[in-house]
Amino acid sequence: MEEIAAHVKAGKPVMILDRKSAICIPAEVITGELINFMMKNCDEIRLALPWGKILSLGLNRFRFQNGNLIPIDPKLDKISAEDRAGFIRDLVSGKIREIQYPGRIFVEETKEMGVLERPGMAEACVDLARMAGFRPSAVYAPLMTAEGGVASEEYALKFAEKNNIPVFRIKDMIEFRIRSEKIVERVVEATLPTKFYGIFKAVGYKTPLGEIVALVRGDVSEGNVLVRIHSECLTGDVFHSLRCDCGDQLENALKMIDREDKGVAIYMRGHEGRGIGLINKLMAYKLQEDGIDTVDANIELGFPPDLRSYGVAAQILMDLGVKNIRLLTNNPLKIEELRKYGFDVVREPIEIEPCDVNLPYLKAKKDKMGHMICFND
C-alpha cells in the first residue's frame, strides 16, 4: 500500500478492485486530461467526500439520488473536462464555485473512518488520498469495456497493465489499516442478569460512534455464533413504537441467543433513524404522516436513505474472537460488509409479523432498500 500511495502522491491514478473495478486519484490533483480519460473508459465520475465535508460545503441542500449520490456540475453553459477538474479541485479546497444541479459529477457520501467504518470502494479511495498526504477526498470512476459493459476483473487487469496503472483491492487497504489501527477499545466487562433473556456478559467499548455495549453469552470464539447487530431505536426498543419492528427484533434476537446459550448482541449507539439521529427521525415521522415513505423522508431532510455502517461492529466482533457468524438480519448490507472484513457469514432470518401501522415502513425497506422481508397475504 505504501507503493500505491507513493504513486498517487506523484499525481498518477491507480486502479481499485472489488466486485467492480475503478480508476481513482486524490481530488486535489485531478486534471482535465484524467477526467477525459475517465469519460472515455469509465461510467459516471464520482467525487468521494466524507459526510462532514458534504455538510460543511452545504451540498446536502441538493437531493440525494440513487442512494448516497448527489449529481452536480460547475454552473457553465458549456463544460469541458478541464472545467470539471478545476471545479472539483476548487470544491474540495473550499473555493466554492456556483453549482449546477443535477450534473454529471456524482458526489458520494463516505464514512469519516474510511474502510474501518465501511468497506466501500469510495472509502478505500479516500483512505488512499489520506495516506498520500492529501485532503480526504477522491475522484473515481467505474471501468467499462469498449462495448459499454461492466469490466470483468480479467479485463480490468489487462487494462491496468496496458496503461501502466498500479492495482490494489479494498481488502488490501482493510488489512493494512487493521494492522496499524484500532478504532474500538474494550473498557469493562460486567455480569448483566436480565428479566427475560438470562444472564449475559456485558462488554463496554469506547468507539468513534460513542459508548457501545456487546452482550455476550458463552464461548463465542468457536463454532458458528448467533449474532445480532442492532441499530439503536429509542422509540421502538424502549417505547415499543408500532411504526417499526425494531423492538420486536431485539427481543426475538435475545430470546434466540438465550435458547442456544451462545451468541452476541451488539447495541449500535449512533444508528438512530438509520444514522440521522432522534430529532431528525421524528421529523421524518412527521413527513411520513404527510404521505412520504421512510426512504424519501430521509432524502427530503437532506440525508441519504441510510447513513449506517458496520465497521465498528466488525472490530468488536474481531475483539471478541468471533469468526463464523449466523447473522440475525433482514438487511443484505450487513451481510456484505461483514464478509468484506473477512467473516464467514450466513443469514438467520428475523422477521416480525407486520401490523397496519408499520406495514408501509416495511414495504418501503423491502422495495427501496432490498431488505429480505416476506409478507403474508
Q: What does the DSSP assignment read for 13-32?
A: -EEEESSSEEEEEEGGG--H
**7 near 133, Cβ under 8 Å?**
no
Q: Which long-range contacts (CB under 8 A, 24 or more apart) does 359-364 make?
A: 360/288, 360/293, 360/294, 361/243, 361/244, 361/288, 361/293, 361/294, 362/245, 364/293, 364/294, 364/295
**106 near 69, Cβ under 8 Å?**
yes
- d(CA 228, CA 230) in angstroms, rounded, equals 6
* Residue of 306, 319, 339, 367 marked catalytic: 306
**99 near 71, Cβ under 8 Å?**
no
Residue 306 among the catalytic residues: yes
Rounded to 5°, the CA angle 110-115-118 comes to 60
* Residue of 228, 308, 347, 377 marked catalytic: 308
- 45, HSE (Cβ side, Cα atoms, 13 Å): 25
- 7, HSE (Cβ side, Cα atoms, 13 Å): 16
**Structural element, H or E, at residue 316:** helix 311-320
- d(CA 263, CA 267) in angstroms, rounded, equals 13
Q: Three-state DSSP class for 269?
A: coil
- Burial track 205-215 (b if 16+ CB lie within 10 A, e otherwise): bebebeebbbb
Q: Three-state DSSP class for 75?
A: coil
Residue 186 among the catalytic residues: no
Residues tagged active-site: 306, 308
